[in-house]
Amino acid sequence: MDAQFFFGLALIVCVFLLCFWFKKENKGKD
C-alpha cells in the first residue's frame, strides 16, 4: 500500500461526500 493508494482512497471518499452533500442543490437544478 503506497501513498498513491491512500491518495486515491481519500479522493474517492471526498468526491463521494461532496456528491452526498450537494445532492439537494443538484436535484433542484435538474
Partner 1 sequence: MTPEMILTMIVLVFVIVLFIFEWVRVDVVGIMMMVMLPLIGIVSPGDAFVGLSSNAVCSIIAVIIIGAGLDKTGVMNQVAGPIIKLAGRSEKKIITLISGTVGIISSMMQNIGAAALFLPAAERIAKRMEVPVSRILMPMGFCAIIGGTITLVGASPTILLNDLMILGGEKLEPFGLFTQTPIGICLLSSAIIYFIVFGKLILPGAEGEADKGVTAALMEEYRALGTVFELRVPDDFKGPKTLQELGVRQKFLVTVVGISDAVRREKNFVPRSIDEIVAGDDIAVVGREKNVRKLVEEYGWKIKDGLEVFVESLSRTSAGMAETIVSPRSELIGKTMSEVNFKELYGVNPVALFKGNRIYYSGLTHIRMQMGDTLLLQGPWERFHILKNHPQPRALSFATPLEGEILRPRKAKLAIIWLAVALLQITVFKVQLSVALMSGALGMIITGVLSIDEAYRAVDWMTVFLLAGLIPLGIAFEKTGTAAFIAHGVLELIGTPSPIVLLAVVGVMTSFFTLVVSNVGATVLLVPLCMNMAVMAGGDPRMAALVVGISASNTFVLPTHQVNALIMRPGGYRTVDYAKAGAGMTVIFLAVELAVLYFFYGVQ
**CB 5 → partner 1: shortest distance, Å?**
4
**CB 22 → partner 1: shortest distance, Å?**
8
d(CA 26, CA 14): 17
- Count the residues of the shown chain that bind partner 1, applying the rule CB under 8 A: 17
Site pattern 11..30 for partner 1 (x: CB under 8 A): xx--xx--xx-xx--x---x
**CB 28 → partner 1: shortest distance, Å?**
13
Query: Within 1-30, where are the H helices?
Result: 3-21, 23-29
* Matching residue, cell 468526491: 15
